[in-house]
Structures are given as C-alpha cells and as structure tokens.
Structure 1
Amino acid sequence: MTEERLADLETKITYQEDLIEELNKTVFQQQQMLERLEAMCETLARQIRSLADAGSEGKVSNERPPHY
C-alpha cells in the first residue's frame, strides 16, 4: 500500500512541476507583451503631444473660422 501511495505522490508532483513550468512560461510571455504595450503607449503619447503642440502653434484659441 505504501508503494502505491508513493507512486501516486510522485505522479502528482510530476504533474505539478509541469503545471508550474507552463504557468511560468505564460507569465513570462505576458510580461513581454506588457512591456511591448507599455512602449507602444509611450510612443503614442509622445506622438499625440507632438501633434497637439504642432497644431496649437500659430493659432489663436478663439479665432473665427474663415467662412465667417
């Protein structure tokens, strides 16, 4: 009986080790994706600031459109 229980425990440990390895890979991939998304957000924020700065240069905020 103890031999069977020992084999069951070894099997469970093996499955747990495989699961932990798989979870570790998933977390690593998610971290890489998060870093890429953060870099993209930063790039987009810089572009938006640049466009906003370029668009506001030389314009008066209350200027009437040309068709008035």
Structure 2
Amino acid sequence: MDQHNITEQRLTELEIKASFTEDLVEQLNQVIVRQQQQIDALGRELARLQSQQLEQGSGPGFRSLRDELPPHY
C-alpha cells in the first residue's frame, strides 16, 4: 500500500468513529432530557405532596421521639 491509500484508510476509519460518536452523543442527550423531565415531574409531585400535607395539618410539627424509633423496636 502506498502512503495515499494508508491516509485514505485512516481517514475513513476516523469518519466512521466520528459517526458512531455523534450517534452516541445524541443517544446520551436523549437520556439526559428524559431524566430531567422525570426529575421535574418528581419535584412537582413532591411540592404537591408537601402542600397537601400542610393543608391536612400533618406538617413538620412536634413529633414524639417514639415516632422516630426504627421499625425493629
């Protein structure tokens, strides 16, 4: 093989690797977007549950130490 063919082969291999890398980055980006959507939904649900808990009067008020015992006691 002459130098031109070797260079051409290396360039082709680099283009293939770049293509796979672009695909991987896009897949990872989609995962991050889905995870952020889940985090946002969980944050909204937590806020809703906290406000519901406050409305019911069972918010973070006085708690007996007996309520804090681990379940195995």
Instruction: With the length of structure 2 as denominator, give the TM-score of the two structures.
Output: 0.70
Q: CA deviation at 1:52?
A: 1.1
- Total equivalences in the alignment: 53
Pick the aligned partner of 2:43 from 38, 50, 53. Answer: 38
Unaligned runs of 5+ in 1: 54-68
Q: 1:16 aligns with which of 18, 21, 25?
A: 21
| CA RMSD of superposed structures (Å) | 0.9
Gaps of 5+ in 2: 1-5, 59-73
Matches of 1:5 and 1:30 in 2, distance apart?
Answer: 37
TM-score by length of 1: 0.75
Poorly superposed stretches of 4+, deviation over 4 Å: none
